[in-house]
Amino acid sequence: MDGSNINCLYCDRPYDNSVSPSIPLLNHQGPSAEADTINKRLSQIQHLTTQLLKERHDLLLRLNSIQPLTRSLPSEVLALIFEEASREPPGTSVRVLKSRIPTGLAQTLLIGAVSTQWRTIIYSTPQLWTNLRICLDPVKFKNQMSIMMRCLSMSKSFPLNVALDFNELKLPVRYGSSEDYLIAPSIDTILRKNLSRVQRLQLWNPPQRWFRDISSLANLEELTIERSRSRIRRLSLDNASFLLKLTLTRLNCTRINLPSSTNLTHVTLFGVHLNVATNILLHSPRLIDLQCFMLEGNVKQSELTKATVLGQLNTLTWHGIESKDWRVIFLHKIQLTALESLRWSINQDAKGDMGYLLALQTFFSRLISLKSLILERFMTQDVQLRFQALMFPPLLEHLTLRNWLPSHVIAFLEFEVLVEHGDAKESHPLSHLRTLTVDIGYYSASLPDHLLEILNVLKRRPAPVSLVIYLDLNSLSGKELSSESVELLKDQVSQLEGKLKLTMDGKKVL
């Protein structure tokens, strides 16, 4: 193929290879080392320029040889390829748009810039314009509004995936009384007309207007809201009967309205009011995954008398929640017959509060399907976790003890290995346990001695168990865990039927 009939990949104009840049050399009549050096460097630059032009010529030849392959594909096939190339991974944050790697709409626009054929396909495929994910920027605001208008128009009637980050948008850009607008007057009218098409909505620090108009999102399936500029009286989701996933982070709101028959399956709550969490919990019988972190406030007394069965809840995280009212609801009022994975953080001494200990025993006894349990201490060094193995469900397979004192871990294992009642000896309560993970955390006690003691206890266990130990390098003082200690641990591990993995500061040591 002759280079003279090659068109530029971007402008479709013929590539002119007849012109070769020539850099005139200096003409110096007298002897001069400096002039010779300059002439030599100019020759090198000319050689490199010629080489680059040749490589560009070869590249265009290869690209032109590839293009007939894509041109022969039907437009429908190319549209499917472009749609897959523009698809964003699940859970992608709107902040990905700040990275150098194009995704979503940015990838769509790049594909359309390759050729006239591809641009035609892009503009005739509404599905490629449905991902409206923008970090609103005061500098790029007008351009972003133009892109948003184009997306709303080009996507036709297809469902929309909208993600808007308001964190960097300042009030002057948003016309002073910005809380009265979804974004700005120039875009609000057309945006409000298309709200019924929104299927997935993610908002970061949105203005108040969104909380008034969010009730019109009848086809909403997934909602994420992170922070609010001011206190929200109520989050109204009465019409969101198709809502499946809900994530609320530090939302200053005390009430939430849900449909009479909610289909919520996945809920994540971080730093929200307990009333919101309780309302969701007691009115979402189809929950599969519930993640609760740092809930605040008190629960209405009327809610404390209600009992419910969450027969489909499979995964539960309870982290940093110490309200007694909330504990009453969970420990006494909730039935979790299908729960398989539980992460429970606590900063209360189970040994010092017998009422709480009995409530926990009753709670765990009802978890007949539980297979994985993470029990951790949270935000205090004074709490002593002293749980007995008899408290845990007998079918438990994976147990993680996080931020426990090594001495308490040893006491727990001693009790678990063999339970004695007088002269009678019964089999240990956790007969199905396969993996024990001990996260020592920041403790700086005599770790090697404690680790050896843990291994010695496990030797007496009838069934083998895999032991995983995590240490933070900051917890080690001097050469507390020396190479000699590691070798000694290896000798002890060789006598176990199970396996030991020792991980220190994220790196495998043993």
pLDDT at position 436 over 70: yes
At residue 56, the pLDDT reads: 86
pLDDT digits (tens, 9 = 90+) for 317-355: 988 666 666 666 677 778 888 999 999 887 655 556 667
* Per-residue model confidence (pLDDT) at position 377: 75
Q: What is the pLDDT of residue 172?
A: 45
| DSSP H or E run through 243 | none
Bridge partners for 267 per DSSP = 246, 290
Over 90: is that where the pLDDT of 30 sits?
Answer: no
Region of residue 320 (left: phi > 0; alpha: psi -120 to 50; beta: else): left
Please report which confidence band the pLDDT of residue 509 belongs to, taking 50, 70 and 90 as the band edges. low
If pLDDT is split at 50, 70 and 90, which confidence band does 383 have?
A: low
115 pLDDT band, cuts 50/70/90, is: confident
Q: What is the pLDDT of residue 456?
A: 77
Give the model's pLDDT for residue 479: 43
With tokens 């104009």, the residue in question is 13
pLDDT, position 442: 55
DSSP class of residue 195 equals G
Instruction: Determine the Cα–Cα distance for residues 483 and 423; give it in Å rounded to an integer.
Output: 43
Compute the C-alpha angle 98/99/102, nearest 5°: 105
pLDDT reported for residue 31: 58
Of the two residues 21 and 450, the one the predictor is more confident about is 450
The answer to which of 126-135, 285-294, 363-372, 443-452 has the lowest mean pLDDT is 443-452
Give the pLDDT of residue 90.
60
**pLDDT class of 231 with cuts at 50, 70, 90:** confident
Most confident of 65-79, 114-128, 352-366, 403-417: 114-128
In the beta sheet, which residues pair with residue 346? 377
Percent of residues, the chain, with pLDDT higher than 90: 18
CA dist 206 → 96, 164, 226, 231, 243 (Å):
18, 8, 8, 12, 20
Q: What mean pLDDT is reported for the chain?
A: 76
Q: Number of helices (H) and strands (E), helices first, in the chain?
A: 13, 21
pLDDT confidence tier of residue 423, bands split at 50, 70 and 90: very low
Q: Give the tokens for residue 305.
A: 């008398």
Q: Roughly what angle, to the nearest 10 degrees, separates helices 116-123 and 75-86?
A: 80
Helix (H) or strand (E) holding 55: helix 33-71
450 vs 146, higher pLDDT: 146
**pLDDT recorded at residue 471:** 62
Per-residue pLDDT for 428 more than 80? no
135 in Cβ contact with 168 (< 8 Å):
yes
Check if the beta carbon of residue 207 is closer than 8 Å to that of residue 229.
Answer: yes
Q: Residue 475 has what pLDDT?
A: 46
pLDDT of residue 472: 57
When pLDDT is cut at 50, 70 and 90, the band that residue 9 belongs to is: very low
Model's pTM, two decimal places? Answer: 0.75
- Give percent of the chain with pLDDT exceeding 70: 66
Task: Decide if pLDDT at 97 tops 60.
Answer: no
Identify the pLDDT of residue 254: 85
433 pLDDT higher than 60? yes
Contact 341, 316 (CB under 8 A): yes
Q: How far apart are alpha carbons 242 and 330 in whole angstroms?
A: 26
pLDDT the model gives residue 152: 93
**Taking the C-alpha atoms of 216, 220, 226 and 227 in order, what is their torsion angle to the nearest 10 degrees?**
20
Region 432-437 average pLDDT? 82
pLDDT at 157: 93
Alpha helix (H) residue ranges in 158-273: 185-193, 209-213
Sign of the C-alpha dihedral computed for residues 5, 6, 12 and 14 taken in this order: negative
Confidence of residue 27 (pLDDT cuts 50, 70, 90): low
- Of 391, 346, 335, 395, nearest to 370 by C-alpha is 395
CA distance 410 to 454: 6
Q: Which residue has the higher pLDDT, 114 or 310?
A: 310
Paired tokens of 462: 């009838």
- What's the pLDDT score for residue 267? 96
Q: Is the pLDDT of residue 80 over 50?
A: yes
Mean pLDDT of 4-30: 50
Pick from 264, 225, 223: nearest CA to 241: 264
Closest among 280, 282, 287 to 338, alpha carbons compared: 287
Distance, first Cα to last Cα, the chain:
61
State the pLDDT at residue 422: 39
How do residues 153-206 score in pLDDT, each as one tens digit?
999 999 999 999 988 876 544 444 456 788 888 899 999 999 999 999 999 999
pLDDT at residue 429 tops 80: no
